[in-house]
Chain A
Amino acid sequence: GAVVSQHPSWVICKSGTSVKIECRSLDFQATTMFWYRQFPKQSLMLMATSNEGSKATYEQGVEKDKFLINHASLTLSTLTVTSAHPEDSSFYICSANHRDHSYEQYFGPGTRLTVT
């Protein structure tokens, strides 16, 4: 149980375009989902907390107009990187917080974004 999927697993886009990444909890309902960014050989940096039916909470330094998050249902959250630039190239990982397990997070497989 507690499987999280992410789509796409990798994407290459041109500078200036937007990219949408989907995160789904497959076998449980996730009231809260999280979006992280990870650079090579570095830790995971929390970008934002996504709550179903309400606005996302962004971490300090993360541009909310650039990284649009929508959590339309208890099983789906999306991250849209708008007007992508090469510096946005990174590994984006989502996680879901199972309702009954406090801080235990279940991670998706991640999305490798390359902006050319």
Chain B
Amino acid sequence: GQQVMQIPQYQHVQEGEDFTTYCNSSTTLSNIQWYKQRPGGHPVFLIQLVKSGEVKKQKRLTFQFGEAKKNSSLHITATQTTDVGTYFCADQFYFGTGTSLTVIP
């Protein structure tokens, strides 16, 4: 199956700093999903983006879908220790490589 690449693979930030993870596909995506997996846990659905250029917000999280529908990003403003985990984008049922976020108190 296809794989969507994510960068960076790892990110360490000080609490209060912002964080962004990028998701890139070589093919046009019909839609994209974002999940969060806490250490030792299972993925939890965050959001789905469908429209070209779509921007959705969930509190401190901002999700964007590129105009060409080949990339997406997740931005977290003012990170908190509760944001720790691995963030995955998914092309339908195929998961991206993930970005592991560590927040230093």
**A residues within 8 Å of B by Cβ?**
34, 36, 41-46, 49, 59-60, 93, 95, 102-110
B1–A106 CB distance below 8 A: no
Asked if B97 is at the interface (CB within 8 A of a chain A CB), the reply is yes
Question: Please, which residues of chain A bring their CB within 8 A of the CB of B1?
Answer: 46, 59-60
> What is the CA–CA distance of A84 and B31 in the complex, to the nearest angstrom?
37
How many B residues have CB within 8 A of the partner chain?
20
Whether the Cβ atoms of B93 and A49 lie closer than 8 Å is yes
Interface residues of B (CB under 8 A from A): 1, 31, 33, 35, 41-45, 48, 88, 90, 92-98, 100
Q: B100 CB to closest chain A CB, in angstroms?
A: 7
With contacts A103-B33, A107-B42 taken as known, whether A44 is within 8 angstroms of B48 at the C-beta atoms is no
Tell me whether chain B's interface is mostly helix, strand or loop, or mixed.
strand
User: Do residues A104 and B93 form an inter-chain contact, with CB atoms below 8 A?
Assistant: no
B33 engages A110 (CB within 8 Å): no
Partner pick for B100 among A41, A45, A60, A108, CB 8 A cutoff: A41
Which partner residue on chain A sits nearest B4 by CB separation?
Answer: A43
Cα separation A102 to B98 with both chains bound (whole Å): 22
A34-B42 Cα distance, complex, nearest whole Å: 14
B34 to chain A, nearest CB (A): 11
